[in-house]
Chain A
């Protein structure tokens, strides 16, 4: 239980750092801490395969992409990165508090008839579900990912004709 609270504090700190820090590189590093925290919660919940996927995709790929995007655009250290944050800070804070309040009261009042399931889900079972029951969604999401990657390359590519 203590371990849970420690991990939760670390993950929340990571998320807070990612949203509130001045230096954009520090934001990205805090985001990595947050991703790792989520992965440890997956392990706590007995989803080791998903935890491995989380570390591979988010820490390995997404964080690298974010770091590259920060370095390719301006204002890495910038004093200006937090400027203008104040103008809609208060209603944003109110909306955020409202979201926490609504979700919290909903979770608090709902009676979950849940008992922790003891058995572990093996990677084999996930794989079988992926190619038998969820075969069509799997193909659709593969197509989506391929299309998105090609689209990203096309969008980010420099227009060579214009340069010449």
Chain B
């Protein structure tokens, strides 16, 4: 179990972050864009935990930071989905390209 090197976890987190970024850039549905942001946040949290395992000095700090990250992600997703529902009620759409009322 301890033979897995730190770089493996970091590479996995990098790949997951890139997948989340691709989802944010490409998808049209706002809910899926929010899901992409969640994937990116999770991969960052995975990095925190990996470093807390491999560096004894940051043992507690890494896990506490992940806890804060999870809290902030929960707040973000709640507000984001509430906004999606409010926008859908106003504009009857959840497509990113069609929500352009503020465009001059």
Q: Which residues of A contact B (CB under 8 A)?
A: 1, 4, 8, 11-12, 15-16, 18-20, 24, 27-28, 31, 34-35, 38, 41-42, 44-47, 49-50, 53-54, 57-58, 61-62, 65-66, 68-70, 72-75, 81, 83-85, 88-89, 92-93, 95-97, 99-100, 103-104, 107-108, 112, 114-118, 121, 125-126, 129-130, 133-134, 137, 141, 144-145, 148-149, 151-153, 155-156, 158
Contact = CB atoms under 8 A, between A and B. Distances in A.
Given A11-B12, A18-B36, A103-B14, 7 more contacts: A24-B31, A41-B9, A62-B77, A95-B21, A152-B81, A156-B81, A156-B82
Interface of B: 1-4, 6-12, 14-23, 25-29, 31-32, 34-36, 38-39, 42, 45-46, 49-50, 52-56, 59-60, 63-64, 66-68, 70-79, 81-86, 88-89, 92-95, 97
Given A141-B72, A149-B78, A73 B26 contact: no
A40 B95 CA distance: 34
Contacts of A152: 78-79, 81-82
A97 B104 CA distance: 33
Given A99-B18, A149-B78, A69 B31 contact: yes
Contacts of A53: 67, 70
Contacts, number: 220
Chain B CB within 10 Å — which of A8, A96, A115, A118 has the most?
Answer: A96
A99 B20 CA distance: 11
Given A85-B27, A118-B2, A92 B22 contact: yes
A62 B38 contact: yes
A74 B19 CA distance: 25
Contacts of B92: 74
B85 A49 contact: no
Contacts of A46: 53
Given A1-B3, A92-B22, A75 B71 contact: no
